[in-house]
Amino acid sequence: MTGALIFDFDGTLVDTEAAVLVAWQETFRARGDELPLDVWHTVIGTQNTAVAMFELLEKNDENLDRVAVRTGVRARVTELLEAVGPRPGVEEYLADAKEQGLRLAIASSSTGDWVTTHLNRLGLADAFEAVLTGDLHQAKPSPDLYLAALAALDLPAAEAIAFEDSPHGVTAAKAAGLECVAVPNAITAVLNFDHADLVLGSLADKPLGELLSRRATRPAGRGTGAAP
């Protein structure tokens, strides 16, 4: 039986990751450099983004003003996200979950103020019973955020499904004992999601009712497999 859905936030519910990447790319280019995407891929879904970016920038600027750079990046990200809404299928999933009496939570490596600000901006804050964030729990790929979400919902892992856009996030969800649906975005689509139970291009590709029916009817202990 499925009692809850637990969503990652950045890149899964809202494609904030594209804006963050663009802001950092612009920062590097303003200094005559390029941000290596292979490095970016290693920090997606973790709390290491800013630190990794600063370390790269400081290779060419040992006097880098981290506070000024961080402030500029945040301002640019805010500007880029002003018109960005939920990813395709998200609002339908949340509405269908409510109709079916499923409980909803967020497990995000980002800070609480970041997640809350964007949930409020999008009018989605009231949809989630619990919001677990990386300023209070160890970030992914540690399973701590998902374990905390399960504890907040008072549900066993077998009764919840996780939704993630990054391999680090899938690793965290699986380590917590959850079935995990990967929904890569344009940035993470090139990465390996073989450890996910199901891979979708977007939530719009498979209605929630179909996902739940498939989960309910498959043999116990078997994953759902990866979609083409």
Active site residues: 8, 10
What distance in Å separates the CA atoms of residue 182 and residue 161, rounded to the nearest whole number? 11
CB atoms within 10 A of CB 156: 11
Q: Do 23 and 77 meet the contact criterion of CB atoms below 8 Å apart? A: yes
Sheet order of strands, 160-164 included = 130-133, 103-108, 4-7, 160-164, 179-182, 198-199
Residues 6+ positions from 9 with CB-CB distance below 8 Å: 16, 106, 108, 110, 115, 118
Residue type, 19: A
Residues 6+ apart with CB under 8 A from 7: 13, 104, 105, 106, 107, 162, 163
CB 49 within 8 A of CB 73: no
Phi/psi at 131 (nearest 5 deg)? -130, 110
| Helix 167-175 with 144-153: angle, nearest 10 deg | 50
- The four Cα atoms 165, 73, 124, 144 give a dihedral, to 10 degrees, of 50
Q: How many CB atoms lie within 10 A of CB 62?
A: 7
